[in-house]
Structure formats: structure tokens, C-alpha cells
Structure 1
Amino acid sequence: METGAAFRALAMPLFMENTARQVGVMKDKGMFFGPIASDRKLPFTATRDMAAAAARLFSDRAWSGQQEVPVLGPQDLSFDDQAAIISEATGQPVRYQQISYDQFKQQFLARGTSESVAQGYVDMYRSKEEGIDNTAARTPETTGHTSFKVFCEQHLKPALAV
């Protein structure tokens, strides 16, 4: 239903910070895990680039209408690409290991999430693997400035060094 209200919705792919949540297992096993195929290229973005896009949109008082605004990182990466970049940027050998969607869901359930939340994550990651995030064009307006390498140097390298 059309309300006539002006709005812009940020549309973000996978967050670089999601990889950082696995620093513990990277330290212990030299690996990180996920259900998406290791060679599937996807856009990733840093949360600081999302915040910058939101601030830019909030400060534009002259705008009206309705619009989806993608916020993409500088390049699409596979999880194998990420593992190579993490290894290079941190000096720690790290590799990606694909797990089943059932294992992925069980990880959420083991942390106490509800069945519906765990299933929601499974559904979201399946849709990402199937290409939901690969539809937006990368343009100067939709591309954040933070590369995954810079993200790793600033966040993962110090965390893995501890």
C-alpha cells in the first residue's frame, strides 16, 4: 500500500564483522566455518561503511521518494578468498571449512536461540548462497571504502595476536 511517506532502506549483504565473531576458533583451529560453499563469491560490507551511508542519507534533507540503497564492499569475495586475506593480513594461517546447514542451525540452538531464530539464519544464509545479495550494481554510491584486507589488519590481526 502506498503511503506517500519518503523513506530509504539500506540493503546490506554479509557483514565483515560476522567473520570476526569466529576469532576464537581461528586461534584454536586455524579455521572458520559456515554453510555457504567456499568458492561462492558474495559482497561483504563493513559496519562502519553502513553507518557512513546512513549518516549521508540522514543529512540529505532535500530528498523525497522511496528507495532501496545497497551498501556493498569494494569487491565480492569467496570464503576461500577471505581465508587467504586473513592469513596474509594477520600472519596466521587460516582456512574456511564449509559445514552443513543442519550443523549451522545446531550451533544457534546450542547457544540458546529459539528454533525460529535458528531457522531464520538458515533461510537467510541459503538465500545469500542462492544470490539474493548479488543483484545490486556496484557503483561509487553503493560501494563502501573498507576493503576486507584493511578490516582484517585493523580488527582480526590484533584479536589473533592476543
Structure 2
Amino acid sequence: MTATGTTLVIGATGTTGSRTAARLMAGGHRVKAASRRATSIPGAEPVLFDWYDPATHAAALDGVDRVYLIPPVGESDPAVVMLPFLHRARTAGVQRAVLLSSSAIPEGGPAVGTVHQALPDLFQQWAVLRPSWFMQNFTDTHAHALSIREDGIIWTATDSGRVGFVDAEDIAAVAVHALTDEHAPNTDLVLTGPEALSYDDVATILTEVTGRPVVHRKLSYEQLRDRLTALVPVEFAAILAGLDRAIAEGAEDRLTDTVQRLIGRPARTLRALCEREMR
């Protein structure tokens, strides 16, 4: 790992952004922590940033040579706001860009897939992280975590489909590697945990770790879409419900060795995470 200049971490208060910023600083790298409130993060330079307010972009990019990109949350067409920023970033001297996408979205696919497709033409040094579903969805502030705490229920339209859930700490470790290693990955990286689990399996693990019963309730695509519409815009609700339907059809039933290969240790298990954060 080589010394770097300054990394702009967009979404520095979020699930992977906060962990990436912390790991960068622990490694001696300078960080500008970008968020909509310019939230203070010990050791980082806080900076105001809003994807939808271009007036915040110049100050965020000042003095930066690499950037960790978290797309705007809930945006069904993020390229509209992200691509103008990325052109501006290149002009401002950014050399390396690492984009957080999803294992469910290929290059050129919907939503952030369009940004993924554009990245190699904008930056000579780049990577796209395509993690599977976050383990933290069961322990953090996600709707799953809320329904687990309040009702002991996980609601999905995944049927018995399996997912290689991944720890956000492992995503952050790979992000730091992609941002700081002497050679940029210049590819997309599909990140999974070490085992593919159904949501029934997840409910069993949560029950065993916490001692509180947790069950998986299976919904149809339409039932889940309508349920999500109360939480997010209808277009995004349809995308999210469609991702669950794809899981039911086997789209996420895969494992990769990317975490082990890039950071030199095995990816963490869901049981280990739950024992760490839920006991």
C-alpha cells in the first residue's frame, strides 16, 4: 500500500463510507469527509456535499486526488447527477475513482450501472465495488433491522433464494485497498461473504444468537413493492422489489473470493457479525 494524497469520501457518515473513512485515516491517509451536513468526523476534514447542489461540489473536490463514490440514495437514475460531477472531478485533478454499486447491477445495467459503464472512460485508475447485500441490514437502521427488533419478522419476496451476505467492514477494507494500492483494480469487484444463506437461514441464526425468535415472512413481488412504496419513491420501490424477485430466481446464489484475495483474510460470517453487534 502506498502513501496517497487526499481522498474525498462521499457519504462519509453512511454504512460503508464511515468505515472506509475510518480505515483510511487509521492507515495514515488524509480524508475529506463529505456529507449533507458536513458532519464532523475525528481526524477528517468535514466538507458539505449534496449530489443535487452543484454549488457544494467545487469545495469538496479542492485538493483531492481520489474519491469514494456513494450514489444518491433512492435515486432511480443516478447518472443524471453523478456524471456531471465526475467530469468536474476529472477536470479538478482526481486521478482515481472507486464507485459503490451492487452485485445485482451489471455494467450498463439500470440505475448506477450507467455510471459504472462510464467510469473507465473518465479515469485511468478506477474500480467498481459490487457487494452482495449488507449483513448490517439486519443490525443497523435498515427496514429489516427495524422489523426484527419490533416484531421478530423479516419480510421479503425472496422465497427460498440464497444470498452471499457481506459485512460492511469487509466492503470498506476492499474499498481502502482499491483507493490506496499502488495499482488500481481497473475492474469491477463482486464482494460476498463466505456462505450463501436464505432468509430462513438468517432468521435461524438471529434466533440462535439473540435468544429472541425471528421468522421470515414470504411476500409476493407486488406485496413487497406496495409495502416499500410507503418508505421510498414508487420507481425505487419497484427496483428493490425486483431485486428480491431476482434473489428468488437464484441471481445472488454465488460466492467470490475477492475479500480473501485482496485483503488477505477470509470474509466474515453473518453469525460472527451478529455475535459482535447483537448480543
Contiguous gaps of at least 5 residues in structure 1: 158-162
Q: Name the residue aligned to 1:61.
A: 182
Q: Pick the structure with more helix per residue.
A: 1
RMSD value, Cα: 2.4
Indicate conservation of the 8 Å contact 2:137/2:145, yes or no.
no
Q: Name the residue aligned to 1:97.
A: 217
Indicate conservation of the 8 Å contact 1:43/1:133, yes or no.
yes
Q: Name the residue aligned to 1:130.
A: 249
Task: Single out whichever of 144-153 and 17-26 deviates more from structure 2.
Answer: 17-26
Q: Name the residue aligned to 2:8.
A: none
Inter-partner Cα distance in structure 2 for 1:88 and 1:138: 27
TM-score by length of 2: 0.49
The letter of the residue matching 2:217 is Q
Q: State the SS of the aligned residue for 1:133.
A: coil
Q: Name the residue aligned to 2:162.
A: 41
Indicate conservation of the 8 Å contact 2:132/2:191, yes or no.
yes
Q: Name the residue aligned to 1:119.
A: 238
Inter-partner Cα distance in structure 2 for 1:135 and 1:53: 18
Q: Name the residue aligned to 1:32.
A: 154
Indicate conservation of the 8 Å contact 1:49/1:144, yes or no.
no
Inter-partner Cα distance in structure 1 for 2:155 and 2:207: 15
Q: State the SS of the aligned residue for 2:177.
A: helix
The letter of the residue matching 2:127 is R
Inter-partner Cα distance in structure 2 for 1:84 and 1:98: 15
Shift of residue 45 of structure 1? 0.6
Deviations 1:66-92 (A, max 9, x none): 311121111111111111110111111
Contiguous gaps of at least 5 residues in structure 2: 1-117
Indicate conservation of the 8 Å contact 1:43/1:75, yes or no.
yes
User: Cα 1:94–1:136, aligned 2, differ >3 Å: closer, same or farther?
Assistant: closer
Which structure: larger Rg? 2
TM-score by length of 1: 0.80
Indicate conservation of the 8 Å contact 1:23/1:156, yes or no.
no
Q: How does 1:66-81 map to 2 (within 5 A)?
A: 66-81=186-201
Q: Which has the higher contact order (CA 8 A, sep 6+)?
A: 1
1:84 aligned to which of 171, 187, 204: 204
Indicate conservation of the 8 Å contact 2:164/2:254, yes or no.
no
